[in-house]
Chains A and B, each alone.
Chain A
Amino acid sequence: MNRAKTTFVPTVFVALAACFAAVGQTQSTPAEISIVKALEKIDQQPDRVANYDSLAMAYARRARETSDVAYYQKAEETLKRAFQLAPDDMDAAKVQTWLLLGRHEFAKALEAGTKLNQKVPDDVVVFGYLADANTELGNYPEAVKAVQWMLNMKPGNIPGLTRAAYQRELHGDISGAIELMKRAHDSTPFQELEDRAWILTQIGHLYLVEGNLKDAELYAKGALDLFKGYHYAQGTLAQVRMEQKRYDEAIALLEARFRTAPHAENLYALGEALERAGRHDEALKAFAQFEPMALLESGITDNANHELIAYYIDFAKQPEKALTVAEQELARRRDVFTLGCHAWALAANGDYAAANVEIRKALALGVKDPRILEHARVIEEHLESSVASAATVPVSAN
């Protein structure tokens, strides 16, 4: 994106936008179009396995557009038919692995991806699966290696660039992550609105991590311009508004996001915003709804355990429950965010020394996540003050 040379011609395009407004509102998304096309092909050729692979992929993509996990169910049903037709179909196996990732079954996804990689060692997409699964499990060297393979095999490929950007973010290279995300955006086809909106949202998020609220806002709003009501962009823009202390706008955005994507973690963010805005009663209501929702999915892989831990510590003041959930989650994955949550839970339960060890593991990667950094600061300050107190006690005693 050549921002410096961008010349906006708003007046005429406002007219154009108005002209196409009706079309835009009823226009199908890329995933919806893919679903219709795949269904048509299945109608014409009901025994062709590739048609079912395409439909399953389209459902999975629609799941991202809408954040509606019901599309995963549809995708899985579709894949059953694909495997009936061709039990060893490679493309069906790839979609199945993608679905495992979507359902946050990271260990299973890694196993499936590894098998696919052994079968077809030069498949860029499979390396993407390996990268995702390893990242979520906290196996960062393996994840980086997989992403590097993607980019070596097919330089400049968009999924490789976005994954590389995420690795850079996790390793603390925020400006490097922004550079790659911008390259990915410039190479994304113009009509892929949701893909472009997703990338713009990520750029906005990265600017937010960097503390650059102006650009974070610009990109998040750009994503919303491209894809109306895009739930990821609403979340990022809401974070910007929170930092700007424009709480009511943030809350409105988070409410809209929760309506679109009614997940427990989105409800937690809303409750947190309400609390910070001083709307205590509404926050309590939100949290009252959040806790059972989060507990319901706490035992499965696709959960809101990070938010549940934060809730128990910061709002419910039940640190022992937080530690239980953190340990449960840590048994599944050891990514920096889970390590950070575990550290915070340990600290909340008074074990600052263990908390410090745990959060250092997360920081060792280089992550610049504001929440982890803040928790690390608090833990460190507590330890320093304890040491200082311990050092002064004997003196006082003397």
Chain B
Amino acid sequence: MKLKSILALAALAAAQLFASSHREAPITALDQKADITDWYAFVDPSHPDHVVLILNVDPFLEPGNGPNYFPFDPGILYEMKIDNNRDGVPDVTFQFRFATEIRAPGVFTGFAGGIAGIPPITALDGPGSEGLNLRQHYTVTMVTKSGTQDLTGNNTLYAIPANVGPRTMPNYDKLRAQGFYKLGNDVQVFAGTVADPFFIDLGAAFDSLNFRNTVGGGVFNQNVIALDDHHNYAPNTLAGFDVNSIVLEVPISMLTSDGKQHPASDAAAVIGSYGTTSRQNTIVLRDLAGMFGPQGSGDFTQIQRLGNPLINELIIGTGSKDKFSTDVPTNDAQFANFVLDPLLAKLFGSLGIPVASPPRNDLLLLVQYQAPICPGCKAADAGPVADLLRLNTGIPPTPFDKAKRLGFLAGDVAGFPNGRRLNDDVVDIAARVVAGILANPSLFNTPIGDGVNTPSAPISPDFPFVAPAYSGRDSSHSGPGQRGCNFSDGLCIGN
């Protein structure tokens, strides 16, 4: 057969790259589906006995990018991992696996409705779902040391597709609501395409920290905007882009080591969390399993992990990013030097911003169990250096409308770095923490910020919290130099 030897290389070669913070590690950049963009963990303001975990993957999804849009990858094992005894090792893991149905294999578009006699897509199954050619369902499994529990039960959980547009999906919000599932054990779950809740002036950040002059060039005029939680003063690069999201809400009692809730002063109230994506190992010749490594076919290899936001993007050196992504948190001592002497602090210093001197032990609270997130932790409770998003489940959540984007730094102790909420401005917080605000709030209190203070799509106070996906037909991007962005005065207000 001519050309038989030329296998499906094109699929790999055609994966064009476009750089972004959402594609931080070199290997992950070749595997967009496995790329974790953000990891969130917070106590639900409306249900203080529940924790919300959100794993976002697959960055920069252009809402109109048909015909297949953005299915989850059935080859990926998506996991949410919880350490509840401060040793950095997951004690509770939630696993998500997706399966794809192509209901009419010969048709080249994933979704159709309101055309050619096909009714608009108004349902995920049965009448009104006829136009869902590409449909995904998924399973949820909880793994603990005592065993594996299928949380899916008898439910068929459908992933919510992208918002194709009003003809195909005339009431997208209603369609999406069908994908909010209440499982047993007081667990809620949602998976689907959503408006990316992250917010950052990415272009300025990666143009060698070339932030907009109108917002102070990276150091705010504090009187004007430092405490503004609701407006953007620079373009949000993520505006108008979707991302794939898995949202899980579980009782706190499912996460703690003894199955109980604890007050904030108790070390047992604190959990460490992170999300991972993994792909199945493959041994080429099955009877040679073991020849090429200790893991046999069927095991999974971690592609990426994310605990604290921006650690991999801003702290870990480029040469170590892949190793960081594929390693486990308990091995993070090898990366400690990146934390104790961060390059980003040096860059800030070169711009004239006062920064704390290394070794930066003040940053260890991000990678160890310490006060103030864990006031009940003694020195022996610190555990290993491990990049986990730590959450004190005993700290009462701040009401949704009272939350401060600067979280802990603004006195809102329910926010980052005590867990992470969707509207926590981790870019500004992380920048200020790296500069040294935790080491000495008087000396290193420079109000660093990118001028993007809030997500472009509104966050909901209720499950699943993330905003619906942008309409593929009726959305567009706006930013400097683009139509729709009032940038003549240097701002892109209301973007």
Contact = CB atoms under 8 A, between A and B. Distances in A.
Interface of A: 1-2, 5-10, 12-13, 15-20, 24, 27, 30-31, 34, 57, 60-61, 63-64, 67, 69, 98, 101-102, 104, 106, 124-125, 128, 132, 135-136, 144-145, 147-148, 151-164, 166-168, 171, 173, 176, 180, 183-184, 186-193, 195, 198-199, 222, 225-226, 232, 235, 261, 263, 265, 302
B-side interface mostly: loop
Contact of A30 (B14, B31, B68): B14
Given A173-B286, A263-B2, A132 B7 contact: yes
Interface string B279-311: 111111111100011000000110100000000
B14 A191 contact: no
A360 B158 CA distance: 52
A127 B134 CA distance: 33
A198 B2 contact: no
Contacts of B10: 30-31, 57, 61, 64, 192, 195
A2 B101 CA distance: 6
A144 B12 contact: no
Given A155-B281, A190-B134, A9 B103 contact: yes
A5 B99 contact: yes
16 contacts: A9-B103, A9-B130, A12-B116, A12-B117, A24-B108, A128-B12, A132-B5, A147-B284, A148-B284, A155-B279, A156-B280, A176-B286, A186-B74, A190-B67, A190-B134, A226-B106
Contact of A57 (B13, B107, B117, B301): B13
B11 A2 contact: no
Contacts of A148: 283-284, 292
Contacts of A9: 103-104, 130
Contacts of B288: 144
B75 interface: yes
A5 B104 CA distance: 13
B14 A34 contact: yes
Contacts of B6: 60, 64, 98, 101-102, 132
A225 B100 contact: no
A161 B5 contact: no
B286 A1 contact: no
Given A1-B102, A17-B106, A163 B11 contact: no
Given A5-B99, A302-B2, A98 B9 contact: yes
Given A16-B118, A187-B74, A156 B5 contact: no
A19 B134 CA distance: 18
Contacts of B106: 13, 17, 225-226
Contacts of A193: 108
Nearest to A198: B8
Interface string B75-116: 110000000000000000000000111111111111010011
Contacts of B102: 1, 6, 190
B12 A159 contact: yes
Contact of A187 (B9, B73, B137, B278): B73
Contacts of A7: 101, 103
B131 interface: yes
In order of increasing CB-CB distance, the 8 nearest A-B pairs are A190-B68, A13-B104, A156-B279, A19-B116, A225-B106, A155-B279, A2-B99, A15-B116
Contacts of A183: 75, 280
B67 A191 contact: yes
Contact of A69 (B2, B11, B31, B300): B2
Contacts of A162: 7-8
Contact of A16 (B3, B8, B74, B107): B107
Contacts of B68: 189-191
Contacts of A147: 284
B104 A189 contact: no
Contacts of B12: 124-125, 128, 157-159
Most buried by A among B7, B74, B283: B7
Given A101-B5, A132-B5, A168 B108 contact: no
B187 interface: no
A16 B279 contact: no
Contacts of A263: 2
